[in-house]
Amino acid sequence: MPGFNVYVPLSLDDALRYLEGNPTDTLPIAGSTDLLPRIKRKQVSVRNLVDLSGLTVLKYIKRDQTKIRIGALSTIADLEEQRDDSASGRLLNDVTKKFGSPNIRSVATVGGNICAASSSEDLIPVFLALDAEVRAVSRNGAREMPLKEFIAAKRKTALQPDEILAEISFSELNARSACSFQKLGIRNTLIIALVSVAVLLEVDETRSNIKSARIALNRLRGKIPQRAESVEEELLGQRLNEQTIRNATEMLGDELMLTSDFRASAEYRHEAAKVLFRRALAECQASIIRK
Amino acid sequence: MNGKDHALIVDSTERLLDVLRDRLNLKGVKEGCGTGDCGACTVIMDGHLVNSCLVLAVQARDKRITTIEGVGTREKLHPVQKAIMKYNAAQCGFCIPAMVLAGKNLLDHNPTPSREEIKEAISGVLCRCTGYYKLVTSIQEAAGEMSGVKA
């Protein structure tokens, strides 16, 4: 393991003070499940780590009028344990069940997963589909922005060296919503997603027409999670039936621009993305019919 | 650590795994991959399964930790350990400490798990020998014994 120092802050302010005073070669660490392996493999060079794992002030999941606010140091296990029967609650249960392994979920944090900013991070497509906003804090104050803006490029976020991600929030979904999260890897658990898809559908009062659709994939046209906006637009006002699902799946196929790597070929990812998207739509449809 | 307090001075790069094996001489925890992908290094930390290869020693401050050495004794094995022996569920044994801890932690939280729930509980620990079936049965039997119901 390459050498580094670890600073254990006594409070959030203490952590921010330390980051402000050490703007280079310094990174925050929490669950360590993404960062430690990368440090070992020398993919990241760091001199100082700030251990945020004890800052329980950022560990919360709360409802604030119509918004759900999740503290960035909430673990995936914390998310798993929340029993919320709303559409968004079920979507979060869906993704946490498929996230890593129980061992990883115990310590991995929501903030860590988002700041890792890659197509392997399961929470990002889900929060993109939820139109989530993030809040970054520093000693100079706080700033909020849509998650879409926060993820600038592969493994690059809008976070400044003296900031940490404090919270992610999204608006509650209305009762006529259904969601689905699909993930494909080489086995059932402990997998990196080759393809992952989050779909959120809202229907009208008749429950037969799509009022809005939000679709996010771990990779669409590049190496970071994105919303499939043209497919979303196409689905507006359509009847939620087999024909619509088939057309939307074909259209997604036309939108995809994927690449091959050592894990899977572009062709495989392309076909798998269509299948997962189709399944997600079908699951949403089934859930709407059931209600 | 298994019911006893320890005060240690550690290096910043030491992992909990290193402290357990090298400083506290608890060799039951294994390093299978060092990247959190195999679960052989599993310990229970504050009631949760964690990969000790991914916990910096400093992050384990003030935590309650249980390793396999803290589960059962030769004279009084934990029901999960007894069942693994009964069913010959172990082959090379490398994953067994982690499997026992995963089974014990599950039963501490959920005394009557389904087979599916047992599989999910051990899904963070890879076994290259057995195909998992007998390990799941062992945990199921232990659940039955602990709750007084035949599996």
Query: E strand or H helix at A18, and its extent?
Result: helix A12-21
Chain A residues near residue B34 by CB distance under 8 angstroms: 37, 40
Query: How many whole angstroms separate alpha carbon A172 and alpha carbon B68?
Result: 44
Which CB contacts under 8 angstroms, 24+ apart, belong to B5-12? B8/B57, B10/B57, B10/B58, B11/B57, B12/A3, B12/A4, B12/A5, B12/A6, B12/A49, B12/B56, B12/B58
* pLDDT at residue A73 in the model: 98
CA-based nearest residue in chain A for residue B49: A103
Residue range A58-171 in CATH 3.30.465.10: yes
> A70 CB contacts (<8 Å, ≥6 apart)?
A60, A61, A79, A110, A167, A168, A169
- Closest-CA distance, B99 to chain A, in angstroms, reads 12
User: Which one of A75, A103, A187, A263 makes the best mutation probe of the B interface by having the most chain B beta carbons within 10 Å?
Assistant: A103
Contact B12 A5 (CB under 8 A): yes
Among residues A161, A160, A126, A139, the alpha carbon closest in space to that of A24 is found at A161
Q: Which fold has domain A177-290?
A: Enolase-like; domain 1 (3.30.390)
Helix A266-290 / helix A242-255 crossing angle, nearest 10 deg: 150
Mean pLDDT, residues B118-136:
97
Q: Global pTM? A: 0.95
* pLDDT at residue A93 in the model: 93
pLDDT over 70 (residue B117): yes
Contact A77 B48 (CB under 8 A): yes
ipTM: 0.95
Among residues A32, A44, A156, A168, the alpha carbon closest in space to that of A100 is found at A32
Query: E strand or H helix at A246, and its extent?
Result: helix A242-255
Pairing of strands A5-7, A48-51: parallel
* pLDDT at residue A85 in the model: 85
User: Which one of A26, A49, A80, A101 makes the best mutation probe of the B interface by having the most chain B beta carbons within 10 Å?
Assistant: A101
Domain formed by B16-70, architecture:
Roll (3.10)
Residue range B79-146 in CATH 3.40.50.2000: no
pLDDT over 90 (residue A40): yes
Chain A residues near residue B120 by CB distance under 8 angstroms: 97, 102
* pLDDT at residue B149 in the model: 61
Alpha carbon of A202 to those of A85, A178, A205, A244, A270: distances in Å? Answer: 16, 7, 10, 15, 26
Residues A170-191 have pLDDT tens digits of 999 998 999 999 999 999 899 9
Chain B residues near residue A100 by CB distance under 8 angstroms: 36, 124
Chain A residues near residue B39 by CB distance under 8 angstroms: 101, 103, 190
Contact A51 B34 (CB under 8 A): no
User: Where along chain A do its domains lie?
Assistant: 5-47, 58-171, 177-290
pLDDT over 90 (residue B30): yes
Residues B63-76 have pLDDT tens digits of 999 999 999 999 99
How far out from the chain centre does Cα B144 lie? 19
CA-based nearest residue in chain A for residue B38: A190
User: Where along chain B do its domains lie?
Assistant: 16-70, 79-146
